[in-house]
Amino acid sequence: MTLPDQKPLETPASAALLEKAERGERLNHAEITALYSLPLPDVAAVAHHLRLQRSAPDTATFLIDRNINYTNICNVGCNFCAFYRTPRQKDSYTLDYDAISAKITELEAVGGTRILMQGGVNPALGLEYYTGLLRHIKAHHPSIRIEAFSPEEVLFMEKTFGLSLDALLDTLIEAGLDGLPGAGGEILEDDVRAKAAPARIRSNDWFRILDAAQAKGLYTISTMVIGFGESFEQRASHLLKIRDQQDRALALYGNGFSGFAMWTLQTENTRLAGKAPGASAHEYLQQLAIARIALDNVPNIQASWPAQGFKVAQAALYYGASDLGSTMLEENVVSAAGNHHRHNATVRELVRIAHDAGFRPAIRNSRFQILEYPDVDIYLGTGANATLEEERAVGAG
């Protein structure tokens, strides 16, 4: 995407807009769109000011978790996806319960508290695979929260298993589901979605499923991916739709999105390679800062180290982000699309990113409640007793 000409801050209109944003007043669509034309340092300063007000000012949080992709077989065929396979491809897979359990055991060994478990839409799987899997995990790993299944997977289950959405969610919750990640948000404008993935879940279903999950008290998160060639107006619309849903969910259920995660499109090995512009670090940081300003009802904004790398993620802590996401241990989807940054992080690395940026590192749970302030001296090896064995003992990975 071509960046707009950057206008000087000194115009009265832009100065007034930034002052309004800095006061924490709610911005409308035109005002959010106008932020994209302002110098990034000025937008970032406002975003950081709001971040200090809306989340613990001295703290940068993160989660110890693991991604588990239980199957890569998928019949949706998104143009931007390098992860999915057809059943006939040699490297297609569906994990059995024991293989998934072994991955969770590794997570438990490093002090992890949740799994983020998603897959392709695999038409060979029946409802009993999903409910059996949830029950197996709860029986063998009772302390691990299971946040699983994107709205796309839930839509497939709803259409396939003859259950209403309400009954389906009740069934999954009864089997052990703790949360429904809001993956697949991308840009919640159907023009953009239809071009990037004609069979992809549309925005009304994405919101309908997450609204139902929020009504049942499930954990959810809001997401965004930039770089499809979407306009700034469409990005602003995406943010406003999330803000509106958050207003609704908090008012009706007292349970909305726990946070907002945003990353940049990766197209290597996909059908969008050379066709979608992707997004630079500048655009990523700009979008993050504008999200912080626009989403006045979502206090936890995540930096994305898997898509942007550790260094940009660290800088993001001054562009509105208050959280470094999670360790992941395993990432298969973004990495399949040619992302050349690391696909997992150790506790030690995330402690260093937060500490060196001037924040107190804090390990949180998926609800963004702080579980522990890791001892920086031990993790970074500056204390008298910092040995590798001790780092391992505290879960440095």
Question: Which residues bind to ligand SF4, rule: CB under 6 A?
Answer: 74, 76-78, 81, 83-84, 120-121, 152
CA distances from 34 to 7, 133, 284 (A): 11, 47, 17
- The total of other beta-carbon atoms located within 10 Å of residue 140's CB is 15
Q: Is the CB of 35 or the CB of 221 nearer to ligand SF4? A: 221
What DSSP designation does 183 have? T
Tell me if 371 sits within 8 A of 364, measured CB to CB. yes
The CA distance from 267 to 83, in Å, is 11
**Residue 12: CB minimum distance to ligand SF4, A:** 45
Q: Retrieve residue 246's tokens.
A: 């958050």
**Residue 353: CB minimum distance to ligand SF4, A:** 28
Q: Is the CB of 47 or the CB of 197 nearer to ligand SF4? A: 197
The CA distance from 29 to 235, in Å, is 10
**Residue 340: CB minimum distance to ligand SF4, A:** 20
Question: Which residue has tokens 């004609």?
Answer: 198
Query: What φ, ψ does residue 252 adopt, rounded to 5°?
Result: -85, -40
| Helix, strand, coil % over all residues of the chain, rounded to 5 | 45, 15, 45
| Alpha-carbon torsion, ordered 317, 321, 322, 323, to 10 deg | -100
Determine the longest span between alpha carbons in the chain, in angstroms: 63
Q: Is the CB of 5 or the CB of 91 nearer to ligand SF4? A: 91
One-letter amino acid at 274 equals G
Q: Is the CB of 206 or the CB of 319 nearer to ligand SF4? A: 206
Q: Is 111 left (phi over 0), alpha (psi -120 to 50) or beta?
A: left
**Residue 223: CB minimum distance to ligand SF4, A:** 12
**Residue 333: CB minimum distance to ligand SF4, A:** 7
**Residue 74: CB minimum distance to ligand SF4, A:** 3
Which residues, 6+ apart, have CB-to-CB distance to 1 below 8 Å? 227, 229, 230, 277, 279, 283
Q: Is the CB of 21 or the CB of 81 nearer to ligand SF4? A: 81
Tell me if 234 sits within 8 A of 23, measured CB to CB. no
Q: Tell whether residue 258 is among the known ligand binding residues.
A: no
Q: Are strands 360-364 and 370-372 parallel, antiparallel or unpaired?
A: antiparallel
Q: Retrieve residue 185's tokens.
A: 């948000």
Q: Is the CB of 39 or the CB of 77 nearer to ligand SF4? A: 77
Q: Retrieve residue 157's tokens.
A: 């289950």
The CA distance from 32 to 391, in Å, is 44
Q: Tell whether residue 81 is among the known ligand binding residues.
A: yes
**Residue 143: CB minimum distance to ligand SF4, A:** 29
**Residue 271: CB minimum distance to ligand SF4, A:** 10
Q: Tell whether residue 326 is among the known ligand binding residues.
A: yes
Q: Tell whether residue 150 is among the known ligand binding residues.
A: yes
Q: Tell whether residue 231 is among the known ligand binding residues.
A: no
Q: Is the CB of 153 or the CB of 178 nearer to ligand SF4? A: 153
**Residue 395: CB minimum distance to ligand SF4, A:** 30
Q: Tell whether residue 143 is among the known ligand binding residues.
A: no
Q: Is the CB of 47 or the CB of 73 nearer to ligand SF4? A: 73
The CA distance from 156 to 266, in Å, is 25
Using alpha carbons only, how large is the chain's radius of gyration in Å? 21
Q: Tell whether residue 80 is among the known ligand binding residues.
A: yes
Q: Is the CB of 38 or the CB of 76 nearer to ligand SF4? A: 76
Tell me if 79 sits within 8 A of 353, measured CB to CB. no
Residue numbering of the annotated binding site: 74, 78, 80-81, 150, 186, 304, 326
Residue numbering of the annotated binding site for (3R)-3-methyl-D-ornithine: 150, 304, 326
Residue numbering of the annotated binding site for S-adenosyl-L-methionine: 80, 186
Residue numbering of the annotated binding site for [4Fe-4S] cluster: 74, 78, 81
